[in-house]
Amino acid sequence: MSAQPTYFEHRKRLKERFAVSPEAVADTELLELLLGYVIKRRDVKPQARDILKRAEHLGNIFDCDLAAVKGVGSETETFFELLKEFVTRSSYRKIEKKTLNLSDQGEVYAYLRNRIAAASQEMLAILFLDARNRLIANKVLKQGKVGDISFDIRDIIVSALEKSAYGVILAHNHPTGEIQPTHADIASTREVFKALRYAGVELVDHLIVATNGYYSMRGEGVLQKIAAEAR
């Protein structure tokens, strides 16, 4: 009877450690375990290390160019795309039909972080709320080059009316990691606020998100200032 490969025993020990204490498993080891479900008959430590080096941390894994990693094929890319969608949908289900606390956008950011924060392109998303501030639907409206995203006000209004939304939360990412709004961000928010108010829909918040955090225009008082100016 032939001996088991070295990596087989290593992977077995990792699984045993994870079963006892998941938090004790290092990020690279966690990646090893995940890769092991797709790349079954090979030592995947080199791939795990390469992926983590490229991503810098686990928060960027889903935006990492896996095709550039030696030894990683299309099955692994599909596997991580499935993981990304699973995490995104599970985050959405946690806040679906739940009244949102508008003074604490943590739950909203948790969803948006998986959906758009780590994207290499700028993306604009809209969350549709009912009269009790419960999330009823969401949509990614636009994506473009860094610094080149535009707000299609008509599309935002039409989408909100189609969903019979009482309010909306806008969100877009800054791939650079800078979460402070630009002058263009604030000017666009002002225009969207006015247009939505005319259509009878409230702009509840506009978030700028990145993998390292977020900026809430409501939380920072920017939206309240825009509302006061519009009176």
CA angle, residues 106, 112, 117, in degrees to nearest 5: 115
Residue closest to 162 by CA, chosen among 139, 142, 143: 139
pLDDT, residue 1, reads 44
pLDDT, residue 148, reads 53
Domain spans of the chain, in order of start: 6-88, 100-229
Q: Which fold has domain 100-229?
A: Cytidine Deaminase; domain 2 (3.40.140)
pLDDT, residue 160, reads 93
Below-50 pLDDT ranges, the chain: 1
Phi/psi at 69 (nearest 5 deg)? -90, 120
101-115: per-residue pLDDT in tens? 655 677 788 777 777
pLDDT, residue 24, reads 87
Please give the single-letter amino acid code of residue 108: V
Query: DSSP characters for 8-68?
Result: HHHHHHHHHHHHH-GGGS-HHHHHHHHHHTTSTTS--HHHHHHHHHHHSSGGGGGGS-GGG
